Amino acid sequence: MADRREDGGSGTAKGSGGASSGAKASGAKASSASPSGAGASAATSSGRRSSGEDKLIARLFGPLATHPGALGLTDDAAFLAPPHGHDLILTKDALVAGVHFFPDDPPASIARKAMRVNLSDLAAKGARPLGVLLAFAIPPDMDDAALDAFARGIGEDARDYGAPLLGGDTVKTPGPFTISITALGAVPYGTMVKRAGAKAGQAIVATGTIGDGALGLALRLDPDRPGFRALDAAGKAFLADRYLHPRPRLALAEALRAHASAAMDISDGLIGDAEKLLAVSGLGGEIRVGAVPLSAAARAAVAAEPALMETVLAGGDDYEILAVVPHDRLDALSMVATAAGFGLTEIGATRTGAGLAVIGADGAEMVLSRRSFSHF
């Protein structure tokens, strides 16, 4: 699950919420927009009263509900038949304005982030998407144009990633804009790639580049830092986009099932998430900082301000895949990642014992003031 960052009320946050309690996200039912059940009703040509929520759902999300099990978002629940011989994989993340995204981020980008942080979890488990359930709470200042853009972002990602909208819930809130998505996927029986399962003496690998999302957030919060002043406009735009638009590595899902011993997506920071994976597997390990893959923009920012390396390692918002792989399977997995366009880098190794050592370029163990993001 993804958890993102809070920053003292600055109107930003990190990622996609491990806070995943009790959201009503099943089926296609719209709940009342107020405690009194208010929601203007109008008579249809058949004489049935149509609520304001019904109209909103029909206009914005009905066209997106193309899966037969969604029933056109006209029922209290959806249905889904798991593929024969497969396990269902389920994950949920919640995003809150001012905690996981800036309140003034484009609504379509907020929608895409909400979709993608969930799909990233499916990718890391080796699953292919089957669909999503969407619940969101609309604040008073969210107008029709913003809702239209939000729905468009959900629909485009649902189409592009093969994750159709199956149902959900809509409510009004006096508080911030809040989104909760449940993503459903499938893997052949017994093949989900768990965090547990790593063995000593195996390679620790990461997809893509690390730190771009966290640096994109830091750039938004303090654009005058020395590291960011060193970047050109293209470099700043790249980091900002990586924060707004995660890239779920679904193209690697099948290969992870075939070759990885353990895997998870990196949401709370490379170091902290690696520690979580190793702890569940009952192992220790080391990560070599000099081997961590950086984008050109991240490399330039860190060169100008070395203190930003801690943001890269512990900031999160990466939504890359962290995996443990036997050495004789590395080439096969790397070939798939390279063909998909994002690559795979060996960054460390597992060992017996406990704890994760972070080894700097000088060969000495680094001491970090923090090792991951945490809401609590």
Q: H helices of 161-251, where?
A: 212-221, 226-229, 233-244
> According to the model, what pLDDT value does residue 372 have?
61
Residues 324 and 327: their CA atoms lie apart, in Å, by: 9
pLDDT tens digits, one per residue of 25-45: 334 443 333 333 333 333 333
**What residue numbers bound the domain in which 115 lies?**
48-188
Same-domain status, 316 and 210: yes
pLDDT tens digits, one per residue of 326-362: 999 999 999 999 999 999 999 999 999 999 999 998 8
Q: Is residue 228 included in any domain, yes or no?
A: yes
The last residue of one of the domains, among 126, 153, 188, is 188
Same-domain status, 69 and 173: yes
Q: pLDDT-derived band of residue 375, with 50, 70 and 90 as boundaries?
A: low
CATH code where residue 227 lies = 3.90.650.10
Q: Answer whether 100's CB lies under 8 Å from 16's CB.
A: yes
The last residue of one of the domains, among 162, 188, 214, is 188
Q: Is residue 317 included in any domain, yes or no?
A: yes
> According to the model, what pLDDT value does residue 373 have?
65
Same-domain status, 307 and 162: no
Same-domain status, 67 and 119: yes
Same-domain status, 132 and 258: no
Q: Is residue 38 included in any domain, yes or no?
A: no
- Total domains in the chain come to 2
Same-domain status, 176 and 220: no
Length reported for the chain: 376
* Residue 163 Cα distances to 192, 293, 297, angstroms: 18, 29, 31
Same-domain status, 291 and 229: yes
Same-domain status, 281 and 329: yes
Q: Is residue 11 included in any domain, yes or no?
A: no
Same-domain status, 58 and 122: yes
Q: If you average pLDDT over residues 40-51, what whole number do you get?
A: 42
The last residue of one of the domains, among 132, 160, 188, is 188
Q: Is residue 1 included in any domain, yes or no?
A: no
Q: If you average pLDDT over residues 223-233, what whole number do you get?
A: 98
Same-domain status, 281 and 135: no
Q: Is residue 139 included in any domain, yes or no?
A: yes
Residue type for position 181: I
User: What DSSP string runs through 289-305?
Assistant: GGGS---HHHHHHHHH-
Is 46 a residue whose pLDDT tops 70?
Answer: no
Q: Is residue 20 included in any domain, yes or no?
A: no
| Residue 343 in tokens | 């690559």
Is 21 a residue whose pLDDT tops 50?
Answer: no
Same-domain status, 326 and 249: yes
Is 228 a residue whose pLDDT tops 70?
Answer: yes
- Global pTM value: 0.85
Residues 345 and 330: their CA atoms lie apart, in Å, by: 9
User: pLDDT > 70: what percent of the chain?
Assistant: 85
Q: Is residue 314 included in any domain, yes or no?
A: yes
Same-domain status, 207 and 352: yes
